[in-house]
A and B are shown apart, each in its own frame.
Chain A
Amino acid sequence: MKQFISFVKKEFHHIFRDLRTMFILLAMPVAQIIIFGFALTNEVKNSKVAILDNSKDAATISIIEQIEASRYFEVEKSIHSAKDIESIFKQGKVKLAVVFPQHFNEDLQHFNKAQVQLIADASDPNVANTLTNYASAIIMDYQNRITHDRKMPYTIVPEMRMLYNPELKGAYNFVPGVMAMVLLLVCTMMTAITIVREKEMGTMEVTLVSPMKPFRIVMAKAVPYFLLSSVNITSILLLSVYVLDVPINGSLVLLVGESLLFTLVSLSLGLLISSKAESQQTAMFISLVGMFLPTVMLSGFMFPVENMPLPLRTVSNIVPAKWYYTIVRSVMIKGVGLHAVWKETLVLTGMLVFFLGLAIKNFKIRLA
């Protein structure tokens, strides 16, 4: 045990003495969560919108006021003729135009029916889709209100309800993804690199000649990264809850437990890589291309796995982050318990046993 502690202590010296390592380990997770949480969201905020109001009555003015009040829109300018619409879209600043026909309010009052046209710049289809949804929601909202006030006998109100994420907040998606990415980066890449560095330096050989068992040496190298990952899990969760307003709807214990399980899977992947790679560059390359890219591409965090062609969907099953991502979303956002994610948990546990077993076997072969 004393030997083990000496080793772990030395490992912390390495980490704390290297600014770059410290940065990757502790500052990058915070930076990533903030960048992903604020800058790179799917949300469309403060989009420029143009209004062509041919009616200029109480109803249209009220709706325009609400559009303006919404944080999604910013009324760029009012236009006065339909001919202007195309030219302002071509300038590219305005993403959405709202066109009210003449006699809007009268139509509404007398026929209980009025039309409004939403024209979006669909060169970015996602944004266009989101914006028209937002705008129709605002119009529906207005319609509901007048229906209520005047006790009109009818009106069909299409109800839009966004399950789990009523505001369609991007952070709900990114927090689980960033957790998977950070843990993978810290555990897999850093662990692989630090072990391979000792092989390169020749210090590994000297420690292998010591009475310390190879398995213990490898474990001692992994322990500091496991501890630092726990720090990262804590800081990411705190940031999510207090800065990004993402709630933890499920059990915190379960969430942390699953995260530690994923940490162990990542660590064993790091060990596996380090048992094969002979240089730090190779270790870094395998970690980035072999682990990091699939995590970003195939975990469902950036692109929905459901929409992928069958071969890619099949491949995505061997990406540990995919399972972890599903677990975190279920526990954190939907608030379900272990009964709903036992299958994913089992898959991760299986991967842990497999990768760790393989890593240990490889280390033994190397020593024979």
Chain B
Amino acid sequence: MDNGKVITADKLTKKFGDFTAVDHITFEVNRGEIFGFLGANGAGKTTAMRMLSGLSMPTSGKATVAGFDVYKENEKIKRNIGYMSQKFSLYEDLTIRENIQFYAGIYGKSSKFIKDKTEVVLQQLHLQSEADKLVKSLPLGWKQKLAFSVAIFHEPKLVFLDEPTGGVDPVTRREFWQLIYQAAASGITVFVTTHYMDEAEYCSRVSIMVDGRIDALDTPSGLKKTFNASSMDEVFLKLARKAVRTE
């Protein structure tokens, strides 16, 4: 039904009045891929992501997520995706275990599934002994890893990560990316926005948005070849310089 494509977007557009935040973007994301979604601030990344995750209705164009139409099958899409926002999104006044149980609960998972999987996740994150402590007592890096595990707890087909590693130290970022690789290996497609160009190198494919349009889309090595650059950083700068729009 989805012929290996987890996301298809065809001339997807979002306008706010006269302002075109996302301008006819067309791309596909394959199953199991780690898809990097890059762009300067204000380029339209977040708006595009909100349309794909069902938080916002497109103005025009077509798109399917996990095989479902973004206009009509909003509910089915929500059941099949996970989402982690750039703001830290766990409840600080709840314990680690309560946070997991809450998010699993609103996805309608069975008590047995929640109970068994909670132990697996705690073990994976080495948080068994902290399970009943309040989230606010955890260091930021651990919170981010926990938030990611919570976002994929219900085993979605696709997870949206909106700048998941903002403000985190390089060591924790690397550990975080190991979690992303694990998730991708288990068949979850990862759609990630980031500001860190070294992270872009970790992605299977990368798209770069400029002024609401996708100006480049290829593997990191393909992009470097096309733009005759030695790093993703250089590629990004060459493209971003063309931007007319500022924040």
**Chain A positions near chain B (C-beta within 8 angstroms):** 2-3, 5-7, 9-10, 13-14, 17-18, 201-203, 205-212, 367-368
- Chain B contacts of A201 at CB under 8 A? 87-89, 91-92
Q: Are A211 and B89 in contact (CB under 8 A)?
A: no
Complex partner residue of B89 from A13, A18, A202, CB under 8 angstroms: A202
Q: Are B105 and A202 in contact (CB under 8 A)?
A: no
Complex partner residue of A209 from B54, B93, B104, CB under 8 angstroms: B54
Output the nearest chain A residue to B95 by Cβ-Cβ distance: A13
Q: How far is the CA of A367 from the CA of B50 in the complex (A)?
A: 10
Q: Are A3 and B106 in contact (CB under 8 A)?
A: yes
Output the nearest chain B residue to A1 by Cβ-Cβ distance: B108
Least Cβ distance of A51 to chain B in Å?
Answer: 63
Instruction: Determine whether B41 belongs to the interface, using a CB cutoff of 8 Å to chain A.
Output: no
Q: How far is the CA of A9 from the CA of B54 in the complex (A)?
A: 26
Complex partner residue of B94 from A7, A13, A209, A210, CB under 8 angstroms: A13
Q: Are A209 and B78 in contact (CB under 8 A)?
A: yes
Q: Are B105 and A2 in contact (CB under 8 A)?
A: yes
Q: How far is the CA of A17 from the CA of B94 in the complex (A)?
A: 8
Contact flag A368-B56 (CB < 8 Å), given A18-B93, A203-B89, A211-B107: yes
Complex partner residue of B106 from A7, A202, A368, CB under 8 angstroms: A7
Q: How far is the CA of A233 from the CA of B19 in the complex (A)?
A: 51
Output the nearest chain B residue to A6 by Cβ-Cβ distance: B105
Query: Which residues of chain B from 42 to 67 have a CB within 8 Å of any chain A CB?
Result: 53-57
Instruction: Determine whether B11 belongs to the interface, using a CB cutoff of 8 Å to chain A.
Output: no
Contact flag A13-B81 (CB < 8 Å), given A3-B108, A201-B87, A202-B89: no
Q: Are B101 and A209 in contact (CB under 8 A)?
A: no
Q: How far is the CA of A142 from the CA of B89 in the complex (A)?
A: 75
Interface centre among B53, B89, B98, B103 (most CB of A within 10 A): B89
Q: Are B79 and A202 in contact (CB under 8 A)?
A: no
Contact flag A3-B107 (CB < 8 Å), given A201-B87, A209-B54, A209-B83: yes
Chain B interface residue bracket vs A:
20 to 34
Complex partner residue of A10 from B53, B83, B102, B108, CB under 8 angstroms: B102
Q: Are B55 and A6 in contact (CB under 8 A)?
A: no
Contact flag A6-B83 (CB < 8 Å), given A202-B89, A212-B106, A367-B55: no
- Chain B contacts of A208 at CB under 8 A? 55
18 contacts between A and B (CB under 8 A): A5-B105, A6-B102, A6-B105, A9-B102, A10-B91, A14-B94, A201-B88, A201-B92, A205-B55, A205-B83, A205-B87, A206-B84, A209-B55, A209-B81, A210-B103, A211-B79, A211-B106, A367-B56
Output the nearest chain A residue to B134 by Cβ-Cβ distance: A17
Contact flag A10-B94 (CB < 8 Å), given A209-B53, A209-B78: yes
- Chain A contacts of B55 at CB under 8 A? 205, 208-209, 367
Complex partner residue of B85 from A9, A13, A17, A206, CB under 8 angstroms: A206
List 5 extra interface pairs beyond A3-B108, A9-B102, CB under 8 A: A6-B101, A6-B104, A202-B88, A203-B89, A206-B84
Q: How far is the CA of A209 from the CA of B83 in the complex (A)?
A: 7
Contact flag A210-B85 (CB < 8 Å), given A14-B91, A18-B93: no
Complex partner residue of B105 from A7, A17, A18, A206, CB under 8 angstroms: A7
- Chain A contacts of B215 at CB under 8 A? none
Contact flag A10-B93 (CB < 8 Å), given A209-B55, A210-B107, A211-B107: no
Contact flag A7-B85 (CB < 8 Å), given A203-B91, A209-B78: no
Least Cβ distance of B164 to chain A in Å?
Answer: 13
Least Cβ distance of B72 to chain A in Å?
Answer: 15
- Chain A contacts of B75 at CB under 8 A? 211
Least Cβ distance of A213 to chain B in Å?
Answer: 8
Complex partner residue of A205 from B85, B92, B106, B108, CB under 8 angstroms: B85
